[in-house]
Chain A
């Protein structure tokens, strides 16, 4: 079983739609969680951290369910520019700041 699992998609949605991505992780001792965004042929970039209480950044909302070892990302009012691959990222508990990346979920927003 992979340490971080995501639905690869693609998710094809119209502009203005709300879309949600899910991610599960296997290490119950993990403490840090992130969503990264990666555009085609570019490096991954930090989108947002995920906190236990859930957090929001504009149109983006991240949720964490420790009991189910589940992370989600909700994007409201999708824009064409949101088209990218979204990577779920979890630290490998045990220190030294090592992060494990999911394979990513591809989002395509169309007019």
Chain B
């Protein structure tokens, strides 16, 4: 089992550019979650999917953020346009209902 796979591991971009983060959940896990982690705010849940359907996106900071899950094996989180305050580590996690999450290694985003 390869675990939850995220790409890229690191991303440095200029303010105003579009950023796309990618996630491949563990096969068979029916829930997928996007989190953001900063020193100030800790781990914040942005959005989660159940069986590829977005269930709750109330944590998405603003309209610049969007997430999709076109199939059970792939999800994207897009920021357009990016801003310096979006700099954080973005984690994707998947879960087979009723158990703890498995996290990917995260994408460290720096917006300059």
Contact = CB atoms under 8 A, between A and B. Distances in A.
Q: Do A and B come from one complex?
A: yes
Interface of A: 32, 34, 36, 42-46, 49, 87, 89, 96-104
B43 A96 contact: no
Given A89-B100, A96-B50, A98-B55, 19 more contacts: A32-B98, A36-B100, A42-B105, A43-B91, A43-B103, A43-B104, A44-B91, A44-B103, A96-B48, A96-B55, A97-B31, A97-B50, A97-B95, A97-B97, A98-B45, A99-B95, A99-B100, A101-B42, A102-B42
B56 A98 contact: yes
B65 interface: no
Contacts of B95: 97, 99
A26 to B, nearest CB: 16
A32 to B, nearest CB: 7
Contacts of A98: 33, 45, 48, 55-56
30 contacts: A32-B98, A34-B100, A36-B100, A42-B105, A43-B91, A43-B103, A43-B104, A43-B106, A44-B43, A44-B101, A46-B101, A46-B102, A49-B99, A87-B43, A96-B48, A96-B56, A97-B31, A97-B48, A97-B50, A97-B98, A98-B33, A98-B45, A98-B55, A98-B56, A99-B33, A99-B45, A99-B100, A99-B101, A101-B42, A104-B42
Contacts of B103: 43-45
Contacts of B101: 44, 46, 99
Contact of B100 (A43, A49, A103): A49
Interface residues of B, number: 22
Interface string B34-69: 010000001101001010000110000000000000
B25 to A, nearest CB: 13
B100 A96 contact: no
Nearest to A47: B100
Nearest to B42: A103
Most buried by B among A42, A89, A101: A101
Contacts of B50: 96-97
